[in-house]
């Protein structure tokens, strides 16, 4: 009762000198619209749910408009922030060290029920540290960024794309046309999955099986994970009984294929193939199995999202696409130096993660009463149990942080040039977009993701010319965000 009174009377539950304002739950701005928490009716609009926390925020001044609290009887307090300084401070205070803030496991319950809870993603504290150590070397930049590794990834990309090009050439010949409307997201997903399986895990899988059996299975599981998380949110013990696939034969079959794919990915360990060669023998297969599942499903989602968004933005920015083409047209083999030299492509990828981050919010929970400190010295006390939602999607679209005054371009538009200017003035390091997270729990797959996205986006621009069929570039969001139109483009082959 005390909590709801505090909420209604605008009494900030958090001590300190960082201003936090309340989420409006009683004003017309939220009434009749979507509710500020996920339900079975609204769970497919998570970005809109996040936006409701900031309804009427413009009436608040300074930091208070970007930091909000919500207190409801029976629940721990919630803080939602779209303030990069607060996001950075929370992420810096997260980790196994003193365990002040952990990853809030509630939003990833569905993932954990599908993969097992003993993973790098779902665990916290010392257990998380062990998982992190076990996988660190496999993802290290020095082991991935070698010309030899790049060549193998490129081979997978070329083989896949060459087959598609041959099909396109037949189609153009038979129809006497030179262009086709295509949704590129499924093609990108297929290439990403092949690279992960063939070049990261060294798995022996037929490309046709990847496309026709395993990807549809993972898609089905991802769809299930999102719904399952909502269904389990008020369940006291979500791991009590695994009923997930009991009554849906298609889902049951998808889980069986997922197990099969995990076996195939782990089979290459005995040969020390690819990344397995960098995993210490002291870890048993059973210690690693759930993580392999997280990598298979999570990496597929995140890398597809990243590259699909980049292509989607380039399809709406022909001049930008031309600049990338000018950079990559003369690159004949994908070598490590190529990534450094293709500066505009690099800025396109940075801007993509800023404007359309794959992971659109990062959940945290205070394990003990935790003070966070901002760079100006101001502090905020998050009481034990507080859920913290770091709303990266909206933070990266705020004019206050990313607008013309700060970066030279509007915050809600795609302008890779903002990074050029920032690099020149030395400010780019201060531009925190959290696309790969920050702090101890930063994405371990960052270098692998960058390698794959540069190859796929650069390769697509080199081989094809494309423009968006629809003008709007809206997001759809589940485990990650993706373009709503499936990256629908009108596509032509470039002249060799
Ligand atoms: C290229 C696109 C990718 C993006 C944009 C991305 C984004 C992120 C972000 C933002 C986080 C931090 C989450 C948080 O702080 O709560 C994260 C964590 C994580 N990512 Fe990625 N990721 C990508 C690729 C990958 C790949 C390729 C893998 C593995 C093969 C991977 C595996 C993970 C894991 C296991 C975590 C949890 C790490 C931990 O808690 O210690 N990611 N990712």
**Could you tell me where the DSSP H helices lie in 211-273?**
215-232, 249-267
Residues 90, 101 contacting (CB under 8 angstroms)? yes
3-state secondary structure 15-80: CECCCCEECCCCCCCCCCCCCCCCCCCCCCCHHHHHHHCCCCHHHCCHHHHCEEEECCCCCCCEEE
How many angstroms does the Cα of residue 122 sit away from the middle of ligand 1? Answer: 12
How many angstroms does the Cα of residue 16 sit away from the middle of ligand 1? Answer: 32
Residues 123, 99 contacting (CB under 8 angstroms)? no
pLDDT in tens, the chain (496 residues): 566 666 666 677 788 999 999 887 765 554 455 566 666 667 778 898 899 899 888 888 889 999 999 988 888 899 999 999 999 999 999 986 665 899 999 888 889 999 999 999 999 999 999 999 998 889 999 999 999 999 999 999 999 999 999 999 999 999 999 999 999 999 999 999 999 999 999 999 999 999 999 999 999 999 999 888 777 665 555 555 555 545 789 999 999 999 999 999 999 999 999 999 999 999 999 889 999 999 999 999 999 999 999 999 999 999 999 999 999 999 988 999 888 889 999 999 999 999 999 999 999 999 999 999 999 999 999 999 999 999 999 999 999 999 999 999 999 999 999 999 888 888 888 889 999 999 999 999 999 999 999 999 999 999 999 999 999 999 999 999 999 999 999 999 998 7
**Could you tell me where the DSSP H helices lie in 342-445?**
343-355, 392-395, 399-402, 404-407, 417-425
Name the closest-CA residue to atom 32, ligand 1: 445
User: Burial of 464 by CB count in 10 Å (0-12 exposed, 13-18 middle, 19+ buried)?
Assistant: buried
Cα 78 to chain centroid distance, Å, stands at 22
Structure tokens at 137: 């070397």
What b/e sequence results for 465-483 when a residue is b if at least 16 CB atoms lie within 10 Å of its CB, and e otherwise? bbebeeeebebebbbbbbb
In DSSP terms, which residues pair with 387 in a beta bridge?
A: 78, 365
- Ligand 1 lined by 358 (C-beta under 6 Å): yes
| pLDDT value, residue 449 | 97
- Ligand 1 lined by 365 (C-beta under 6 Å): no
In DSSP terms, which residues pair with 365 in a beta bridge?
A: 102, 387
Which residue of 302, 365, 433 sits with most ligand 1 atoms within 8 Å of its CB, as the best mutation to test the pocket?
Answer: 302
| pLDDT value, residue 420 | 93
How many angstroms does the Cα of residue 206 sit away from the middle of ligand 1? Answer: 27
| pLDDT value, residue 227 | 83
Q: How far apart are CA 207 and CA 8, in angstroms?
A: 58
Query: At 367, is the secondary structure helix, strand, or coil?
Result: coil
- Ligand 1 lined by 214 (C-beta under 6 Å): no
Q: How far apart are CA 65 and CA 57, in angstroms?
A: 5
Structure tokens at 340: 């450094």
Residue with tokens 């960082």: 18
Q: How far apart are CA 364 and CA 310, in angstroms?
A: 28
How many angstroms does the Cα of residue 291 sit away from the middle of ligand 1? Answer: 12
How many angstroms does the Cα of residue 139 sit away from the middle of ligand 1? Answer: 11
Q: How far apart are CA 149 and CA 151, in angstroms?
A: 5
- Ligand 1 lined by 448 (C-beta under 6 Å): yes
DSSP secondary structure, 440-459, as one string: GG--TTHHHHHHHHHHHHHH
């Amino acid at each position: 009762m005390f909590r709801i009174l505090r909420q209604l009377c605008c009494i900030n539950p958090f001590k300190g000198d960082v201003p936090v304002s309340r989420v409006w739950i009683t004003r017309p701005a939220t009434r009749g619209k979507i509710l500020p928490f996920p339900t079975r009716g609204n769970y497919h609009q998570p970005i809109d749910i996040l936006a409701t926390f900031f309804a009427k925020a413009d009436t608040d001044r300074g930091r208070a408009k970007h930091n909000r609290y919500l207190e409801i009887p029976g629940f721990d307090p919630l803080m939602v922030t779209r303030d990069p300084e607060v996001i950075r401070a929370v992420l810096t205070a997260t980790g196994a060290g003193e365990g002040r803030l952990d990853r809030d496991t509630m939003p990833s319950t569905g993932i954990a029920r599908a993969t097992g809870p003993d993973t790098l993603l779902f665990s916290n504290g010392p257990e998380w540290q062990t998982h992190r150590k076990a996988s660190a070397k496999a993802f290290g930049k020095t082991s991935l960024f070698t010309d030899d590794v790049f060549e193998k990834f490129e081979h997978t990309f070329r083989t896949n794309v060459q087959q598609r090009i041959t099909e396109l050439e037949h189609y153009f010949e038979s129809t006497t046309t030179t262009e086709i409307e295509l949704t590129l997201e499924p093609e990108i997903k297929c290439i990403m999955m092949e690279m992960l399986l063939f070049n990261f895990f060294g798995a022996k899988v037929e490309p046709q099986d990847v496309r026709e059996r395993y990807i549809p299975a993972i898609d089905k599981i991802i769809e299930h994970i999102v719904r399952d998380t909502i269904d389990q949110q008020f369940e006291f013990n979500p791991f009590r009984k695994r009923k997930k696939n009991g009554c849906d034969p298609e889902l049951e079959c998808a889980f069986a294929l997922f197990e099969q794919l995990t076996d195939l990915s782990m089979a290459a360990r005995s040969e020390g193939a690819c990344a397995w060669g960098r995993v210490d023998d002291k870890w048993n297969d059973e210690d690693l199995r759930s993580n392999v599942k997280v990598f298979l499903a999570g990496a597929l989602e995140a890398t597809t999202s990243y590259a699909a968004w980049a292509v989607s933005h380039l399809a709406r920015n022909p001049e930008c696409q031309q600049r990338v083409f000018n950079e990559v047209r003369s690159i004949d083999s994908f070598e490590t130096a190529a990534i450094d030299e293709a500066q505009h492509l690099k800025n396109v990828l940075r801007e993509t993660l800023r404007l359309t981050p794959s992971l659109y919010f990062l959940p945290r929970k205070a394990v003990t009463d935790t003070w966070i400190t901002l760079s100006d010295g101001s502090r905020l006390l998050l009481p034990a149990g507080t859920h913290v939602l770091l709303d990266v999607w909206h933070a990266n679209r705020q004019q206050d942080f990313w607008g013309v005054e700060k970066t030279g371009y509007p915050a809600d538009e795609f302008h890779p040039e903002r990074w050029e200017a920032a690099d020149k003035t030395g400010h780019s390091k201060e531009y925190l977009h959290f696309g790969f997270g920050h702090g101890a729990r930063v994405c371990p797959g960052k270098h692998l993701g960058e390698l794959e996205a540069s190859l796929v986006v650069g390769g697509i621009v080199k081989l094809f010319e494309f423009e968006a069929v629809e003008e709007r570039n809206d997001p759809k969001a589940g485990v990650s965000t993706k373009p709503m139109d499936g990256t629908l483009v009108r596509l032509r082959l470039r002249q060799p």
